[in-house]
Amino acid sequence: MRLVIVSNRVTIPERNEKAAAGGLAVALREALEQQGGLWFGWSGNVKEAASAPNVVERGNVTYAVTDLTEAERQSYYLGFSNRALWPLMHYRLGLTEFSRVDYAGYLAVNRRFAKALIGLLRPDDIIWIHDYHLIPLAAELRRRGVTNRIGYFHHIPWPPAEVFGALPFASTLASTIAAYDLVGLQTETDVGNLVGCLVAMCGAVVEGGRLRVGRRQTQVQAFPIGIDVEAFRKLAAASVRSATTPLKATRQSLGERKLVVGVDRLDYSKGIVQRLEAFGQFLRSHPDQRGRVGLLQIAPPSRSDVPEYAELDRQSDEVAGRLNAALGEFDWTPIRVVKKAYSRNALAGFYRRAQVGLVTPMRDGMNLVAKEYVAAQDPTDPGVLVLSRFAGAAHQMGEALIVNPYDTHEVAEAIRTALAMPKSERIRRFEKLYATIAATDIGWWTQNYLAVLSGAAPSEPEIVPFPAKPAKAAQGRSGSRKPPQKPRSAEAAPANLRLVGLGNGASAEPQARG
């Protein structure tokens, strides 16, 4: 049995290239290498004429990439994917722009991908398709006679039927979900929303815990994605001993001041402008904190070809400048916004140095920054995570300070609470959070999904309590101890994430918190 992964973008590694620590791409690459497989998708290149897939062998993995034409990039990627589906899935109807030309281009690229992929498939392949760019791909494959098991994972939120239904042809697009054998989403809320869409728009009915749409049955289940917790913990501990240049400069400029950190792509779903305003409100409400704490917001630009992102770039600069002018001093700048990408090593160091991780998206499928921040902490003196209730991570990470990102006063007070929290309480919260993210890491997620797709029995994640006195401490900053390794489960699907109560106005069980 061979694994075939399909994603919007695929990067072919150089020969003998060492995999970077952590990340979804690394986890998928490892899954492919373990059993042999194929990775198919867009090369990221734009050519005058679309070419046949370029097939490259790298050890046990075959990479097959195809280019897009400029017209395809405009309609499929920038148009329908990023100006219609992205804002719609994040509940931002006011930013959703629909074009029939873009929709036709989106379908056409999915048809072309299906046609190119068929020639590379084997009868016993298991196919795993990723994210909103490729929702109709399985339907295109089925139309061409593919009978393999096909799974789909949706990495971003899925909105309720009332929101999704605003999209023209919403029922047609939703009906293509039935072509998958397994659909994975981040949270039970997303599961309930997708099921509600299929029931309301496609007449889906529930049969034995599965959804039937026409002649096909589809399983819909939550699989909360994780990170490589142990690898990120090691990166953060190493940052104490060998700080990168950006981290050294940050430490020197901060001195003894406390640090609040935010790390996000420059995207309107991340709530960056609202976060800056909340930090300004915190300083106005608590003038004794002026000069004693600063906010570092790392926000590398993305999708600069889309006008809404260019406007967000301008707006974030304006807000940061206004607040710094009103609240700053000659020797202290309260807010620093850095619009560039940093290495994972540098980010791990920033997280470990920060007393507060401020993760306040307006809506997010999961948000892995929240999990990275926890994994990076010094267990003997951890920081505090302030987390949006609208991030998927909030379903798992209840020991964070959960806030409404639309309420700047509430976020401001959460910052104050985090900075004043006693060490014993910080350690208690950290230990519970760490145990949860370690039990549901990226390896658990990958194994879980593939086991269910291939028909394996489900099992619970095993959450191991953080020990008060480990047998042997691993030294980091302040003699930090090494968090425990969790035992791996041989089987791979959480029983607590099953579909329940499906019908008109379907609901789903709340996810269990660790």
Contact (CB, 8 A) for 91 and 77: no
What single-letter DSSP state applies at residue 77?
A: I
Contact (CB, 8 A) for 359 and 262: yes
Residue 331 is among the residues annotated as catalytic for this protein: no
The edge-to-edge listing of strands for the beta sheet with 182-185 is 54-58, 61-68, 37-46, 3-9, 126-130, 150-153, 182-185, 216-222, 210-213, 205-207
Spot the catalytic one: 125, 264, 364, 441. Answer: 364
416: number of Cβ within 10 Å? 15
Q: Which residues contact 113 (CB under 8 A, 6 or more apart)?
A: 6, 40, 41, 66, 134, 137, 140
> What is the distance between the terminal CA atoms of the chain, rounded to a whole angstrom?
34
How far apart, in whole angstroms, are the C-alpha atoms of residue 170 and residue 201? 8
Burial 484-504 (b: 16+ CB within 10 A, else e): bebeebeebbbeebbbeebee
DSSP of 358-400: EE--SSBS--HHHHHHHHTS-TTS--EEEEETTBGGGGT-TTS
Spot the catalytic one: 155, 286, 313, 381. Answer: 155
Q: Look up residue 12 and give its amino acid.
A: I
Contact (CB, 8 A) for 106 and 131: no
Q: Is 172 exposed, middle or buried (0-12, 13-18, 19+ CB in 10 A)?
A: middle
Residue 364 is among the residues annotated as catalytic for this protein: yes
The beta-strand segments (E) located in 389-444 are: 401-403
How far apart, in whole angstroms, are the C-alpha atoms of residue 432 and residue 463? 9
- The catalytic site residues sit at 155, 364
